[in-house]
Amino acid sequence: MTSRRPVPDESLYDVLGVAARASPAEIRAAYLSAARRHHPDKQQPGASPALDGHMPRITHAYGVLSVPSARAEYDATLKRREQAALAASTSVRISAEVDIDAFELVASADDVQEQAAQLRFKLDCRCGSAYVVELRELEAGHDLVGCSGCSLVIRVLLDAPDGAET
């Protein structure tokens, strides 16, 4: 028996119990601590069988989040999922509409060709965190961007290419 309800969209960060912005050291510490708690060898006799399924999920979560490239890919997936949830929600309060020109262009890759594919824009939020969005997300019609540090959501106005009249 367990008091935990199944959470279908539980993230790998949730599995480890860390924040989405946790450092590699924090992720490792959370993994070791979770592994200690859930490892089958450490279970007390008669311990809740509900815990049995945890170790593979914890190991999988750590396996992804401990590899920078895998984590980046997972973060992108997570972000798309959040975007979809945002878009599906009618109760989203959009705090502002901001022209893309107000954003700072951030290079997300060293390789020039990759840069072109991964143009990323950043705008500081008043909470001290920032809104970050990739050009291809905008082009895919995902114009709602949530701040990574607070609950504010803004709509990004992707204007016409240079040379178009205003």
Q: Which residues bind Zn ion (CB under 5 A)?
A: 125, 127, 129, 147, 149-150, 152
Taking the complex as a whole, the smallest distance from the CB of residue 18 to Zn ion amounts, in Å, to 20
DSSP one-letter string for 95-155: EEEEEGGGSEEE---SSHHHHHHT-EEEEE-TTSSEEEEEHHHHHTT--EEE-SSSS-EEE
CB-wise, 58 or 156, nearer to Zn ion? Answer: 156
Neighbouring residues of 78: CB distance < 8 A, sequence distance ≥ 6: 11, 20
Per this entry, what is the length of the chain? 166
Taking the complex as a whole, the smallest distance from the CB of residue 158 to Zn ion amounts, in Å, to 21
CB-wise, 20 or 149, nearer to Zn ion? Answer: 149
CB-wise, 66 or 148, nearer to Zn ion? Answer: 148
Taking the complex as a whole, the smallest distance from the CB of residue 123 to Zn ion amounts, in Å, to 10
User: Identity (one letter) of the amino acid at 156?
Assistant: V
Taking the complex as a whole, the smallest distance from the CB of residue 143 to Zn ion amounts, in Å, to 17
Q: How far apart are CA 32 and CA 87, in angstroms?
A: 36
CB-wise, 47 or 150, nearer to Zn ion? Answer: 150
